[in-house]
Amino acid sequence: MCISDVLAYYRNANLLSQRQMAEMLGISQVAYHKWESGRNRVQLVHYCRIATVCRVNLLDILPEEWQEKIREDLGYNPSGCSAPEGL
């Protein structure tokens, strides 16, 4: 599943509009819409916040090639994300 599908799935699962999701992530609704429509790529710095807002494991939303690298090479601990201020 690509990140645009992941974003739409978890946003809808949390009953959030694109505007609400964007506000929770600290970005504009236009920027969020571009992510969800696949027109822009999500920058690495935003993945942790997305996982926290959506209450999912960070590793589950990363692109598959990143997941594999992390699991194999880095021994990543997916619970290492801290909640952003205000959540």
Question: Candidates 1.10.260.40, 3.60.21.10, 2.40.50.140, 1.10.3720.10; correct CATH number of 3-78?
Answer: 1.10.260.40
- The full set of domain ranges for the chain reads 3-78
Segment holding 20, helix H or strand E = helix 18-25
Angle, helix 29-36 to helix 3-13, in steps of 10 degrees: 120
Query: Tell me: the pLDDT tens digits for 2-59?
Result: 888 989 999 999 999 999 999 999 999 999 999 999 999 998 889 999 999 989 888 8
User: What is the pTM (predicted TM-score) of this model?
Assistant: 0.73
Which residue carries 């993945």 as its tokens?
Answer: 47
State both tokens at 44.
């690495």
CA distance 51 to 32: 14
* 53 neighbors 87 (Cβ within 8 angstroms): yes
